[in-house]
Structure 1
């Protein structure tokens, strides 16, 4: 039928039952909804004024399969996205022209199936294009979306090799096609429709719900975009709404949201990495349906963004940026093909050196305060020894093993705290070169940690020395409670435990041990074993020297 007053596809609101059937794969529900005989070829169109037409506006073309969502997706788009092969075949048999129907992103069902990696659905759609009169294979396979990408581009970008091979086999010329943008007029026709459901910023009510951390959703929430091309999950990540992210990641029917790209090509994972939110990054990576290696319009993967976010120079290894970088690397994320020297600036300018010098000075002051306190306590303990004194001024408990161990521990605590103060002084001095200051920081941290541990041991020995004559069991209990503070000195292990939990959720225990055993063992020997050996030597000295 020829219409002179129509310049684009006519939109009919989708029946909610059809939306549910296509999204959940309910074949019986779809069979009840479809008429008993095949309908005529589909013509989805939009009037010039952008009004949404209902089926009653044109009874001659009334068909339930003509309905589209807010995002312009037909039932075939939805079935292809979720990989419901039988439903896709049923829909194609009734309305074959849906194979080339476009949504607001100018994507065909083939784009959706290729992006999600549903090989069988792609193969079925390709077969229908061969068997349909008026729908050529080239027309369907070479259709470009809003970003100028074909279905082959989507499959290749998301790592679906089998889908890419299927598409190139159907049309070998696809590999030679280069990206270019669709015409602005075609996009403007769709924007007129979207304007009716969004405010001046392009935000829909659901975007505001996401920013307000409201997790009550509607059926077609994966269709709503703001003027940046961001969906609900993008907005939830941007506003750090953990509840919304957890809700979306737990719903299989919302898989389309998880890897959707905004107008800058960023997926929710890109935004989460950029924001530095460990909890949201963990939630996304735990979900196996989230792709880790999608590139944005700048050609950057989430791993590229994570290394950009790592602060140069002196920094703590368990800071969120470092944690996110390790989490992506350990879960198999890859860098893009771009040269890293074009992504990460490696040279230090005068401003960077000044900033780094201030960090060392600030750290030196913090260390100096801590070490001076420990040194003062250890020094004072020598003149306030536990127990009474004999008439000649010697301690009455001087011959006790525990007393000797206490004195040795107190001595080590004083020596290590003084040495830490010494190295901290050089660390804070601007006259010292930056490379040497890094070594002084390492020495200060190690010595401060040892001084703290030994001072705790000295305190436990003093408590036991005083309480043992009254109640030996009570003295032991106090020593055990005091010793548990050692666990707090290993608080840096908590982020690593979270990292292991995230990786276990994505690759399982087997994948965790297979891929990370070498790295964990090397990390253990490189960082933990020297510390354990050093601490063991000190503790052995404390408890063996009194026997001499």
Structure 2
């Protein structure tokens, strides 16, 4: 008589049509059966009998969310996943892991899991099968929080830990984002032969699992477990993501004081604190932006030269700053264009005046005396012109930055700026005079300026 598996108050046998599909390895037919059941919500795929479970029946776990088509078993207690794994049908195994990941840890009457069946039959491909999300059984077990399944998979097929999805997400990174310290420890545990775990630490956007652990809020020991992982663990501290940020940047940004102290306790902490991201920002800047004073104190202890750490925005900026597209925010304002013209003119005039002074003060026979006098005269006229343009640039820049926030920071009445430049022709009575007069007023913060 066919033995069955108890499922709550009922017991179920494997559907015969499903059994034929599993034996033939027909993935297309299996997808059709599952799709038909999803559409009709039919229960004819399994034999549910309201009777007491026969003696010796193996209790099945409550597979929440699994398709009832997959919950039946054969006479020896093997599930659909046992059959697919023992025959090496990787694609079918992937479909079952996607629909019912808990089946991976289910044991038959011989106490074998589907992984044991695949290993006995020599079908390693079934263990590494991927579903439509390019995820392995280990990845799905981590995603659904089945720590026991993760532990079992790391014993039977530890190489699965080195397989990431097409998006670059590894099981270790996923476990770190879910704050599961138990699964992180299982993934980092050395193999049975004593070799280090082959687990991959990759994540999206170039991040590593340590980046994810640095921002986790509930498991302070997770980052410590990763640092203790030999030989890769310590090297993760200096790895950067696509934005150039290290795990220390993340810990400082999210205010993880315990993680910051852990990272700064390593021998290379001084070099680590001086790594800037692609925007030139150091971990000190990340902590300052979020106002994390305690994190700032820890970083400043390791960075006695913190006053010298400036980002690329401090090297050169314009009034109003830049947008995310790296364009000037106030570029459409007239005062901004006036600032650019004044600033550029001041730079050009001061540069030319410096060159004239260099030649005018050069005591060499190669430069005639009358030429040196002329150069000195030109320089003496260009320097005050450059200074007045610099003042004008400062005035325009101050108005752009402070005008809208504090309308009375600059007088709204008429303001005139007169620039005079003298040249050598002044000796002949023909002065060269340049005037720049601007008037602005009206409503503060108006579109004119």
TM-score w.r.t. length of structure 2? 0.30
Higher relative contact order (CA 8 A, sep 6+): 1
Larger Rg: 2
Structure with greater proportional helix content: 1
TM-score w.r.t. length of structure 1? 0.26
